[in-house]
């Protein structure tokens, strides 16, 4: 009686994955990172919307808490 062995129908790929990303898949996260880093380094450039004083007060309060 012979033992049944299972063979793979397709061999496992060798080497790295062949995945191609569009240019914006790397550019957009990098741009967002740079924008957030700029705001952290120079928070005086981050202005709240002038039409909504509630948001302006919230942003000012957050800046005060961070500055401590």
Place 2 in a pLDDT band, splitting at 50, 70 and 90: low
Structural domain includes residue 54: yes
Q: How many domains would you assign to the chain?
A: 1
Q: Is 35 within the bounds of a domain?
A: no
For residues 40 and 57, what is the distance between their CA atoms, to the nearest angstrom? 18
User: What range defines the domain where residue 57 resides?
Assistant: 44-68
pLDDT at position 29 is 92
For the stretch 8-43, pLDDT in tens is: 666 665 666 678 888 888 899 999 998 888 888 876
Q: Is the pTM of this model over 0.85?
A: no
- Tell me, yes or no, whether 9 lies in a domain: no
The pLDDT value recorded for residue 39 is: 82
pLDDT of 60: 85
Residues 23, 16 contacting (CB under 8 angstroms): no
| pLDDT confidence of residue 43 | 65
């Amino acid at each position: 009686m012979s033992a049944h062995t299972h063979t793979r129908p397709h061999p496992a790929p060798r080497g790295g994955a062949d995945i191609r990303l569009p240019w914006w898949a790397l550019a957009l996260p990098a741009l967002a990172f740079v924008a957030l880093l700029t705001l952290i380094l120079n928070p005086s450039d981050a202005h709240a919307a002038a039409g909504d004083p509630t948001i302006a007060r919230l942003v000012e309060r957050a800046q005060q808490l961070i500055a401590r």
